Copies of this chain bind each other. A is one copy, B any other.
Amino acid sequence: MITIEQLITQIEQRQPIVNKAEIGAEQLRQEFSSVGSLTTADHEQLSFLADPHYIASLADTQAGAVLVTAEYRDQVPASAVALVVTSPYLAYAGASQLFARDSLSNGIHPSAVIADSAVIGDHVNIGPFCVIGDNVQIGARSSLDAHVVVEANTKIGPDCVIKSQVVIGHDSVIGSHVRLHAGVSVGSEGFGFAPTRDPSVTGWERIAQLGRVVIGDHVRIGSQTCIDRGAIDDTVIGNHVIIDNLVQVAHNVRIGDGTAIAAQTGIAGSTSIGKRCIIGGAVGITGHIEITDDVILSGMTMVTKSIKKSGSYSSGTAAMPTANWRRAAVRFRQLGRE
- Please state if B99 and A233 are interface contacts (CB–CB under 8 Å): no
- Interface stretch, picked from A18-26, A71-79, A146-154, is A146-154
Residues of B within 8 A of A335 (CB): 327-328, 331-332
Residue of B nearest to A241 (CB): B204
A264 interface residue per 8 A CB criterion = yes
Chain A interface, number of residues (Cβ within 8 angstroms): 135
- Please state if A268 and B245 are interface contacts (CB–CB under 8 Å): no
The main secondary structure of chain A at its interface with chain B is: loop
- Please state if A40 and B147 are interface contacts (CB–CB under 8 Å): no
A160 interface residue per 8 A CB criterion = no
Q: A185: which of B128, B183, B197, B218 is its contact (CB, 8 Å)?
A: B183
Residue of B nearest to A41 (CB): B232
- Given A104-B131, A163-B188; 10 other pairs, CB 8 A cutoff: A96-B208, A97-B208, A127-B131, A182-B185, A188-B222, A250-B263, A284-B300, A303-B319, A311-B322, A313-B321
Mask of A176-198 contacts with B, CB within 8 angstroms, 1/0: 00010111010011011111111
Residues of B within 8 A of A179 (CB): 189, 206
- Please state if A299 and B320 are interface contacts (CB–CB under 8 Å): no
Binding site for B on A (CB under 8 A): 14-15, 34-37, 40, 86-87, 89-90, 92-94, 96-101, 104, 109, 111, 113, 127-129, 131, 133, 145-147, 149, 151-152, 163-165, 167, 169-171, 179, 181-183, 185, 188-189, 191-198, 201-210, 218, 220, 222-224, 226, 228, 231-233, 239-240, 242, 244-246, 248, 250, 257-258, 260, 262-264, 266, 268, 275-276, 281-282, 284, 286, 296-305, 307, 311-322, 324-329, 331-333, 335-338
